[in-house]
Amino acid sequence: MAEERRVMRVGLLIALALIVLRIILEQLGSPESVNNIFGVAWLYLVIPVFFGRGIAFHPRPYVALLKNVTLFGVYTRIMVMISYMLAYLFRWQAPRFSTNMGGNVGNDIGPLDGLLVIPVRNALIWIVFAALVGMIVGGVTIWLKRRGKAVASRG
């Protein structure tokens, strides 16, 4: 349990740093190819490995994994959602915030859509994505870890 909390805490701190760094880079006019490197989405491939390793031998590891990857997705998406709300308020011009890319900054976007509907919609989509990817990556990690122990105990 302590390992899960540590992974969650460290993962969320990394996510926060990435979000702030990306906003700074976007505001400085950094190329989109550079900005995409500093996305939170990459963490949905990495953090489940650490969750999987830590809970592989729990009585119900897949239930614990689903809980952890979903919570991680919710927490990170709340942070990203806040950045979208700030983008609407301050009219940030980064491509990911433009209406052309599903964002919430544009002349035809009203306050309800810009501050609530679009950020919440994007968050919900990404939470589902994070849970699905996390279950696949973390599930494979659990399976490999358990299989490795089974092979080691036979040999």
Quick check: 155 pLDDT over 80? no
Q: Residues 44-60: pLDDT tens digits?
A: 999 999 999 999 999 99
| Sequence spans of domains, the chain | 2-154
Distance CA 84, CA 68 (A): 24
DSSP tag of 99: G
Bridge partners, 98 (sequence order):
105
Distance CA 145, CA 3 (A): 16
Neighbours of 145 (CB within 10 A): 17
Q: Residues 68-103: pLDDT tens digits?
A: 999 999 999 999 999 999 999 999 999 999 998 889
